[in-house]
Amino acid sequence: MTNLNKGLIYKTLDYKESSKLLFLYTPRGKITLVAHGVKSLKHEYRVLSQYLTEIEFEDKGKEMFSLSKAKTICAFDSVKSNFTQMKQAALPLEIIDHLLTEDLPHDKIYDLLIQLLKTDTVTASLVFPLKMLYLLGYGLDFVGNDPIGFSVKEATVSTKENQFYPDTNLETTVLLSKLYFYKTTDKVEIDSKQILDVLTFIKAFYRYHLEYDFKSLRE
């Protein structure tokens, strides 16, 4: 019986003369598939072996093995044709590549990632990094009377009582809360300035607590 699984290609690398290494995020975590001969124009797996493609494949239960019995689930063609959307999608995929560890609930993370990318890349670029903070051990605390902002250092709301330095204003703090507790049935309207404010917070928080600088957020 063939054991089929699904995965999202978050990175590719040329391998030998005509092949590629496909780095996939799957419901069981990160794996690497060797896609033999896919750089050939006539190869049946040439198109599905692209970055940001969700595929079905035969899972041999190892960390690295050859691609076989594969087909495309979602090609994300509309995203790939738009530079801005590709840059937005790159942020959650960078987290997958560099920050996720083996001991996390990958099945739930995978479902969230795919749902967000299929909703829209703006939502994915904001919600996914915020939600991953909890799983990475840095949950955000929005409980506090009369908040005035949010403290990156303390990972909690700044209030008149605790006098923590507010790195965001109250409006951005409220938006952060909505995105942090976002459900896929929610609809969040957000303008370009608010997007920049949230991304600035995400960049500052990951840099301070995880000592990580996002390549996809470099100007």
Q: What is the pLDDT of residues 40-81, one digit of tens each?
A: 989 999 999 999 999 999 999 999 999 999 999 999 999 999
Asked if 182 contacts 158 with a C-beta cutoff of 8 angstroms, the reply is no
Q: Splitting the chain (219 residues) into consecutive groups of 10 residues, what average pLDDT does each group show? A: 90 94 97 96 94 97 96 97 96 97 96 95 96 96 95 97 95 96 87 96 97 91
Rounded Cα gap, residues 133 and 174, in angstroms: 17
Rounded Cα gap, residues 116 and 9, in angstroms: 15
Q: Which residues of 33-49 are buried (b: 16+ CB within 10 A; e: fewer)?
A: bbbbbbbeeebebeebb
Question: To the nearest whole number, what is the mean pLDDT of the chain?
Answer: 95
pTM for this predicted structure: 0.94
User: Domains of the chain, with CATH numbers?
Assistant: 4-75 (2.40.50.140), 82-217 (1.20.1440)
Query: Phi/psi class of residue 146: alpha, beta or left (left: φ > 0; alpha: ψ in -120 to 50)?
Result: left
Residue at 51: amino acid letter: Y
Asked if 96 contacts 25 with a C-beta cutoff of 8 angstroms, the reply is yes
